A and B are shown apart, each in its own frame.
Chain A
Amino acid sequence: MSRRIRMAVRGGSPLRNALAYPSVAVAAGMLLASLVLTLLVPLLPGFDPYSQQLSNGMVAPFHQWAHPLGTDPLGRDMLSRLALAGRGSAMIALLALSLNMAVGVVLGLVAGYFGGAVEAVIMGVADLQVSIPIMMLLVMVVAVAGHSVVTLVLLLGLAYWVGYGRVARLMALSLRERDFVLAARTFGASNFWILSRHLFPQLLPQLAIMGSFDLGVMVIIECGLSYLGLGVQLPAPSWGGLIAEGQDFLQVDPWLCILPGIAIWFLVGAVQILSQHLTNVRQGRRPRKQAA
């Protein structure tokens, strides 16, 4: 293993280098499986998460060709339901993540670059928000405002911007006095130009690391909310919702819970392993070399 890694680290594309690590290769496989599930399966001819067949309920996986992953108590195809649920969960998570990043990056850059009162206000709001327990807030708001996808995305999307905000602010603080920023000012660059062309691109590697990790977190939160009945409502299922349904039948057909669990694990585990790999690459950690 170490020889392969040593060879890979010398040169070659980052992708090939990454795949030389076994953990990354496994994660890539898991991610691929998740993508296939959520993107390709719905395109297959047999895709049908809705039609019920009460006589064919609770079939175990790998028993019927028509239902490769079995059926639920109402006879609906599990594979199709998983795929649909995956779409829902992943989409909400992705949208929420994007909103968090966008809000965080903009507020953070502005705070760090301009300083003074602007920074004080933004950071004050950030500190305030962090002090509120998020889950509690989410539960309360959803209970009041309802379950629509929009509400959910807005809520999740505005709950976690502070992490990105702080990173962006630090970046802006450390870069705003750098010579190349000064140079841009001597050319007559506006603040917007400097922020968008010089400061923002420097954030991208860090955003990739944080974003990939947080994607997993968002999926878990969304599934958690759905499990509690606060998320996306049926009939559009979520993996969390599937688990909630299946838990009544745990003694009889554990697959109803296990399958969505595996699906969550594949997606979340994959992105988090990839995030860790990106972190390692960024920090230049190499495998320890053997004693000479």
Chain B
Amino acid sequence: MTGAEPVLSVRDLSIGLPGALPGALPGPQGLVRVIDGVSFDVHANEVLCIVGESGSGKSLSMMACMGLLPDAAELLSGDILFNGQSLLAMPEAARRRLRGAGMAMVFQDPMSALNPLMRVGSQIAETLSLHQPGLGKAARRERVRQLLGLVHIVDPATRARSYPHELSGGMRQRVMIAMAMAHRPALLIADEPTTALDVTVQAQILALLADMRRETGAAQVLITHDLGVVAQVADRVAVLYSGRVVESGTVADIFRNPSHPYTIGLLASLLHPGNRRAYAIPGQPPTAAQRPPGCVFQPRCQLGEGRAACMGTVPPLQALSATQHSACLYPDEARALRTQPEGMRS
């Protein structure tokens, strides 16, 4: 699994957006660093879960990979490599060919991602004709049926003739996945694919994504805020906080040996039937324009209270082992926090 070249490699990516955030002061050029030096890798046949809350930049970083950033966004530094090739140096035409064929994305809300006025079969056929223009009409129809069968939709021929609003949320998400898989992409990105769905459907979709990976050997990136999902499907995890990666590692590293106070705080926030009082990380994440100097989590961090080192410089991602990295200057103390739940403020 590891050792081979990663399918996707994000290197020190920084992206700025015009500063129009509430209560924020714009940066030097009126741009605010929404993503600040983010790096991670994804290998074939592997699932990377990007965990973060709102404002962490998780969706934006994947939109950058797909080349779907808003016009106003500017690349400030870093690069994105797909199978070793720099995406940012590629001309737009080449990137467009890649989009849908080499890498595909599934979004959170299938209702807004599907055209309400077209039958779903036609929409899948459309992406086929975009990247495989040689395919005849009959062959396309057959392929559409195949794809709908691939995502375990019963009676695909009839379903292909339905409009999006006639389908349930789970079915729409399956259609989205079928569209994304149409060209057997090497990389599938799913942005909160199950958040809008019911619990029982969530489980089906996650299992479906796992099936897809087994069948095609593609790499998958799953963006989520749900640690339950992470525990179930992830091979590796990257934890984002306010535009920076604060911890990364295998899923076992993150759950069994978390080494950053934010990760530990997230795990502690999980509601357990035992405790009466929920643990809440005090305070709020800073907006991108209001990041403190030094460690971005420091204002909310027990360890960092009053510590000059934490407030002074931005801690780099240090390797704790072959697989795990943490952006905390005191990972050992952080780990100790975990075994003393009473030591955490509530």
Smallest CB-CB separation from A6: which chain B residue? B30
Whether the Cβ atoms of B18 and A10 lie closer than 8 Å is: yes
Describe B's contact surface by its main secondary structure.
loop
Check if B67 is an interface residue, CB within 8 A of chain A.
Answer: no
Contact among B20, B26, B71 for A289, CB-based, below 8 A: B71
| A9 CA / B29 CA spacing, docked (Å) | 12
Which residues from 86 to 102 on chain A have a C-beta closer than 8 Å to any C-beta of chain B? none
For the complex, what is the distance from the CA of A289 to the CA of B73, rounded to whole Å?
A: 10
Say whether A286 contacts B72, CB under 8 Å. yes
Of the residues B26, B71, B72, B74, contact of A11 by C-beta under 8 Å: B26
Q: Considering the chains assembled together, what is the distance between the CA atoms of A6 and B72 in angstroms? A: 11
Q: Is B227 among interface residues, defined by CB-CB distance under 8 A?
A: no
Minimum CB–CB distance from A284 to chain B (whole Å) comes to: 10
Write out, one digit per residue, whether chain A residues 1-14 have a CB within 8 A of any chain B CB (1) or not (0): 00000110111000
Is the CB–CB distance between B72 and A10 below 8 Å? no
Residues of chain B contacted by A288 (CB below 8 angstroms): 71
Q: A11–B19 Cα gap in the complex (Å)?
A: 9
Provide the A192-203 mask, 1 if CB < 8 A to any CB of B, else 0.
Answer: 000000000000
User: A132: CB under 8 A from chain B?
Assistant: no
Asked if B114 CB lies within 8 Å of chain A CBs, one says no
Least CB distance, A200 to chain B, in whole angstroms = 26
Tell me which residues across on chain A come within 8 A of B72, comparing CB atoms.
Answer: 286, 289
Q: Which residues of A contact B71 (CB under 8 A)?
A: 288-289
Closest-by-CB residue of A relative to B20 is A10
Residue ranges of A at the interface with B (Cβ–Cβ < 8 Å): 6-7, 9-11, 286, 288-289, 292
13 further A-B contacts with Cβ under 8 Å, apart from A6-B30, A9-B18, are A7-B30, A10-B18, A10-B19, A10-B20, A10-B26, A10-B30, A11-B26, A286-B72, A288-B71, A289-B71, A289-B72, A292-B74, A292-B75
Residues of B within 8 A of A (CB): 18-20, 26, 30, 71-72, 74-75
- 10 A-B residue pairs with Cβ-Cβ distance under 8 Å, sorted by A, are A7-B30, A9-B18, A10-B18, A10-B19, A10-B30, A11-B26, A288-B71, A289-B71, A292-B74, A292-B75
